[in-house]
Amino acid sequence: MIKLSENSISLIFRLIIIFVVIKAIMVGLLMTLPHTGVTKITVPDVTPPYTRFNIKNAFYTTNSKTKKEDVKPKQPLYKIDDMELTGIYMESKKSGFVVFYDKKDKEQHILSVGETYKGYKLDSLSKYEAIFIRNNQHYKLSFKDDSSIPVEPKKILTQTDEEEPVRLVPKNLVKKYSTDFKAIWKDISIKEIIKHGKIAGFKIQSVKKGSVFSQLGLQKGDIIVEVNDKPIKTYKAAFDIYKNINKYRDLKIKILRNGIEKEFNYEIY
């Protein structure tokens, strides 16, 4: 029989205690840990796919298309040659008006000194031309070569069976003066009468003896105030009568002569 020393017994006793402690730890772990095996966790590949990068996109802030503004075509410049001078009424270089034909709108117009038409301001007048200003540039508008319409030598007839006679005026004579504005001023001169800053009528300054206007009964000093019951207080009103005279069959002119109102009646045949 083997006799153990006290040191041996002490060592064995320590080993037993260590074994018991280890065994207790292992039992505790077996009680707490899951009984299944270890599962491998697969981590997905999160690397983004390759995309080509355009540097222009870094500075582009909106995808909306820029709306193009509607660009209106510029209107062609109106030229002085688009006017055809048909008449000048001149009291002085800076006073009067012109009558001209617009080749584009096919209409006759009247323009006084100081007024503007399509960018051209009528600045001054002479006997045969009108001076316009546009953008500090001067433009001259002159008459074309004379081409007066020949008129048959018909006289103005007068019916004397009434208190105020009716004068019969040949239609071709009316046509001559309606198309040849210069012919009017060869036979008659008029000037506007201003009252309170407005035109009150047109005074006859002179009438050529034996002319059509003298045959119409008009005299120097007469003031024309109405035509066909329409007051003549502007150049435009006077020109409207002149422009449409071919359409009239009857014409009535009211005048003041020495302060007395008189009325002349005409029939165009």
What are the Cα distances from residue 241, in Å, to 50, 236, 238? 87, 9, 5
Average pLDDT over every residue of 194-223: 86
Domain ranges of the chain: 80-142, 167-268
pLDDT reported for residue 159: 45
Q: What fold characterizes domain 80-142? A: SH3 type barrels. (2.30.30)
Residues 224/193, Cβ–Cβ less than 8 Å: no
Average pLDDT over every residue of 47-61: 57
Is 174 or 209 the better-scoring residue by pLDDT? 209
Give the whole-angstrom CA distance, residue 195 versus residue 78: 37
* Radius of gyration, alpha carbons of the chain: 55
Element housing 25 (H / E): helix 6-32
Q: What is the chain's mean pLDDT, rounded?
A: 75
In tens, the pLDDT along 71-103 reads 665 656 888 889 998 888 777 888 888 888 899
Determine the 3-state secondary structure of 244 from DSSP: coil
Residues 222/205, Cβ–Cβ less than 8 Å: no
What are the Cα distances from residue 116, in Å, to 39, 73, 120, 241? 99, 24, 5, 22
Predicted TM-score (pTM) above 0.85:
no
Pick one of 2.20.28.10, 3.30.365.10, 1.10.260.40, 2.30.42.10 as the CATH number of 167-268: 2.30.42.10
pLDDT at residue 155 above 70? no
Give the whole-angstrom CA distance, residue 117 versus residue 134: 10
Determine the 3-state secondary structure of 91 from DSSP: strand
Determine the 3-state secondary structure of 61 from DSSP: coil
* Weakest mean pLDDT among 9-13, 110-114, 124-128, 153-157: 153-157
